[in-house]
């Protein structure tokens, strides 16, 4: 099954590299060209330079892919376009079509090619295209033809379509949440590509379940999703013929017909029957355990009481996830429900990070460090982002640029835009105000302002789960709480007016049923256990 030697016997393969990173929340404002330009929009050889640099702003898949390809033999990278934006609304259709056309022209100009690597998030959509990832993959296939291997990596919060998979030879999804395995999954994709270049043949089996788990139940340290990921890894270890097993939790806020948990299994030697058996084993367990995808969140009032107790040293320090307003899922990062409640209660030792308000950050910079002024949060209100006011003092200013040190941002450059640390008078609450919409999942986003996180009694982060990989050195699991506050990423799915989500779907519709695929009759029965975790 190892075809690497065969792959290296001819001239170095020419591998095109491109990708589109966006997690599109249907309830958020559209994503613009500027959103991509402010995070990552790179072309041509610049991509190779950054991928092989020690630190860059590229998605972490690219350095991982380059390292593995460099280590496994000669190759000629042909980078085309890498476009990445923070999670937000669907891409403006014009912008998506421009990206698509640029990728098409770049691929056509690079022919002949020996392979293609697509490094995308997998939950994108455009204002005029519900399956932009499928459209991209089909475009690649049309340009390079049926014989050129095409492999793709996706975030595990991806919405997978049948048409996208039909255009691919290999598909790999992340297996960690918080995401700390992007480089490893890209290396896995590189190995699959090398295998295909050496003559390998793959077959893929795909199942979509009427299951849209709340994001807070898709962690991979423990819980129902963690068990599924472990089962998938056990299947790959137990059977060398299984090249990859990807269980994608999906991104329900996309509000699309292709939403829902999916299982994609890739088998070697074109063994479709084997791929189907493995996929069915995983899907049956996921459906049988669907009731486990529930989690009770704290109310704002309950969180306030816990913060007051922590401030009085009556309990250990805690961290709150303002998961309903997670910029990492399309939230605007500027709801003030928790901020207002903690300030009003005069909870002591509170650090709040990060609050997105460019106008307030600009005013703090104009005032200067040490200045006292009347801080107005959300001067322009929206549905969830209500006005909040308090006297404040400017403690520190920053240009917002730094490099992550832990978890999902380790070694990756980030930019918060002009930023400020404010102290609210009357409560002493400290809040980091930033200009660019980013989630607080990296300790440096607080430490760069001189904050000693270990001394805080309560930390609030605008994040859903990725903060766990960055702040775990300060807060063990038992001192992490998710708070139920309004916002565009509320884990309480009944809060949204769904339009395109397939219904019925669990847990929104407890009566939802799953009809197994027609080919399931030839697969093992429901009683057959998954491969043991070893």
Question: Residues 470-512: pLDDT tens digits?
Answer: 999 999 999 999 999 999 999 999 999 999 999 999 999 999 9
Is 60 exceeded by the pLDDT of residue 133? yes
For β-strands 372-377 and 388-398, DSSP reports them as antiparallel
Is 90 exceeded by the pLDDT of residue 208? yes
Query: Going by C-beta distance under 8 Å and a sequence separation of 6 or more, which residues neighbour residue 105?
Result: none
For β-strands 388-398 and 419-424, DSSP reports them as antiparallel
Looking at residues 130-138, what average pLDDT do you find? 98
Check residue 4 and give its pLDDT. 47
Check residue 523 and give its pLDDT. 64
Structural domain including 376 reads 300-490
CB 443 within 8 A of CB 461: no
Q: Assess if residue 283 is contained within a domain.
A: no
Looking at residues 199-223, what average pLDDT do you find? 96
C-alpha pair distances (Å), 83 with each of 18, 31, 32, 331, 353: 8, 12, 12, 20, 27
Is 50 exceeded by the pLDDT of residue 5? no
Is 80 exceeded by the pLDDT of residue 530? no
Check residue 48 and give its pLDDT. 98
Is 90 exceeded by the pLDDT of residue 294? no
Q: Assess if residue 418 is contained within a domain.
A: yes
Check residue 54 and give its pLDDT. 85
Is 60 exceeded by the pLDDT of residue 82? yes
Q: Assess if residue 525 is contained within a domain.
A: no
Q: Assess if residue 279 is contained within a domain.
A: no
Could you give the CA distance from residue 497 to residue 414 in angstroms, rounded to a whole number? Answer: 34
Return the residue matching tokens 């079509």. 97
Could you give the CA distance from residue 225 to residue 489 in angstroms, rounded to a whole number? Answer: 19
Check residue 521 and give its pLDDT. 80
Is 80 exceeded by the pLDDT of residue 524? no
Report DSSP state, residue 91.
B
Check residue 531 and give its pLDDT. 35
User: Among residues of the chain, what percentage have pLDDT more than 70?
Assistant: 96
Check residue 295 and give its pLDDT. 83
- Whether a cis peptide bond, with omega within 30° of 0, leads into 223 is no
Check residue 528 and give its pLDDT. 40
Q: What tens digit of pLDDT does each residue of 371-427 get?
A: 999 999 999 999 999 999 999 999 999 999 999 999 999 999 999 999 999 999 999
Could you give the CA distance from residue 390 to residue 425 in angstroms, rounded to a whole number? Answer: 7
What is the C-alpha radius of gyration for the chain, rounded to an integer number of angstroms?
23
CA triple 86-261-125, angle to 5 deg: 35
Cα torsion for 466, 193, 411, 43, to the nearest 10°? -100
Q: Assess if residue 179 is contained within a domain.
A: no
Roughly how many angstroms between the first and final C-alpha of the chain, as a whole number?
23
- Residues forming a β-bridge with 372: 393
CB 463 within 8 A of CB 328: yes
Q: Assess if residue 447 is contained within a domain.
A: yes
Check residue 534 and give its pLDDT. 24
Could you give the CA distance from residue 446 to residue 468 in angstroms, rounded to a whole number? Answer: 15
Is 80 exceeded by the pLDDT of residue 522? no
Q: How confident is the model at residue 296 (pLDDT cuts 50, 70, 90)?
A: confident
Give SS3 for 356.
strand
Q: Assess if residue 330 is contained within a domain.
A: yes
Specify the length of the chain in residues: 534
Could you give the CA distance from residue 426 to residue 51 in angstroms, rounded to a whole number? Answer: 48
**3-state DSSP percent of the chain in helix, strand and coil, to 5:** 35, 25, 40
Looking at residues 165-189, what average pLDDT do you find? 97
Question: For the chain, how many structural domains are there in total?
Answer: 1
For β-strands 202-208 and 262-268, DSSP reports them as antiparallel
Q: Mean pLDDT across the chain, nearest whole number?
A: 95
Q: Assess if residue 476 is contained within a domain.
A: yes
Indicate the helix (H) or strand (E) that contains 111: none
**What is the number of other CB atoms lying within 10 angstroms of the CB of residue 61?**
31
C-alpha pair distances (Å), 139 with each of 44, 118, 147: 19, 12, 14
Check residue 130 and give its pLDDT. 98
Structure tokens at 162: 């049948």
Closest CA to 262 of 122, 432, 414, 64: 122
Check residue 3 and give its pLDDT. 46
């Amino acid at each position: 099954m190892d075809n690497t030697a065969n792959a290296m016997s001819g001239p170095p393969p020419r591998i095109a590299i491109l990708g589109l990173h966006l997690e599109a929340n249907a309830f958020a404002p559209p994503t613009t060209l500027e959103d991509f330009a402010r995070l990552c929009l790179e072309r041509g050889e610049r991509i190779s330079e950054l991928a092989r640099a020690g630190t860059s702003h590229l998605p972490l898949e690219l350095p991982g892919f380059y390292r593995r390809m460099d280590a496994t033999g000669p190759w000629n990278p042909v980078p085309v376009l890498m476009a990445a934006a923070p999670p937000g609304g669907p891409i403006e259709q014009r912008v998506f079509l421009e990206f698509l056309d640029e990728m098409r022209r770049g691929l056509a100009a690079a022919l002949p090619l020996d392979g293609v690597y697509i490094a995308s998030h997998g939950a994108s959509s455009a204002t005029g295209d519900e399956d932009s990832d499928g459209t991209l993959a089909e475009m690649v296939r049309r340009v390079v033809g049926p014989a050129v291997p095409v492999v793709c990596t996706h975030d595990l919060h991806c919405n997978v379509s049948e048409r996208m998979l039909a255009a691919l030879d290999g598909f790999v999804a992340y297996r960690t949440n918080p995401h700390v395995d992007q480089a490893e999954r890209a290396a896995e994709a590189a190995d699959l590509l090398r295998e295909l270049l050496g003559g390998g043949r793959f077959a893929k089996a795909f199942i979509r379940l009427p299951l849209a788990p709340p994001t807070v139940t898709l962690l991979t340290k423990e819980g129902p999703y963690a068990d599924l990921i472990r089962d998938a890894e056990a299947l790959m270890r137990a059977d060398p013929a299984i090249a990859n097993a990807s269980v994608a939790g999906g991104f329900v806020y996309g509000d699309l017909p292709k939403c829902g948990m999916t299982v994609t299994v890739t088998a070697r030697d074109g063994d479709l029957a084997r791929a189907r058996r493995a996929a069915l084993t995983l899907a049956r367990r996921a459906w049988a355990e669907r009731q486990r995808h529930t989690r009770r969140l704290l109310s704002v009032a309950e969180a306030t009481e816990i913060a007051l107790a922590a401030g009085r040293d009556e309990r250990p320090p805690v961290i709150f996830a303002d998961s309903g307003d997670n910029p990492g899922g399309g939230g605007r990062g500027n709801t003030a429900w928790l901020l207002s409640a903690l300030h009003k209660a005069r909870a002591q030792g509170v650090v709040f990070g990060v609050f997105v308000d460019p106008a307030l950050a600009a005013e703090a910079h104009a005032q200067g460090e040490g200045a006292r002024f009347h801080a107005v949060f959300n001067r322009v209100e929206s549905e969830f982002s209500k006005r909040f006011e308090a006297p404040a003092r400017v403690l520190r200013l920053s240009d917002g640029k730094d490099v992550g040190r832990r978890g999902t941002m380790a070694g990756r450059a980030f930019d918060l835009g002009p930023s400020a640390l404010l102290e609210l008078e009357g409560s002493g609450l400290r809040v980091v105000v930033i200009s660019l919409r980013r989630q607080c999942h990296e300790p440096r986003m607080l430490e760069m302002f001189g904050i000693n996180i270990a001394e805080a009694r309560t930390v609030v982060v605008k994040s859903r789960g990725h903060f766990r990989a960055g702040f775990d050195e300060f807060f063990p699991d038992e001192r992490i709480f998710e708070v139920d506050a309004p916002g565009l990423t509320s884990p309480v799915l009944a809060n949204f007016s769904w339009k395109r989500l397939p219904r019925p779907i669990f847990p929104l519709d407890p009566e939802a049923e799953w009809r197994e695929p027609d080919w399931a009759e030839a697969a093992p029965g429901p009683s057959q256990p998954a491969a043991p975790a070893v």
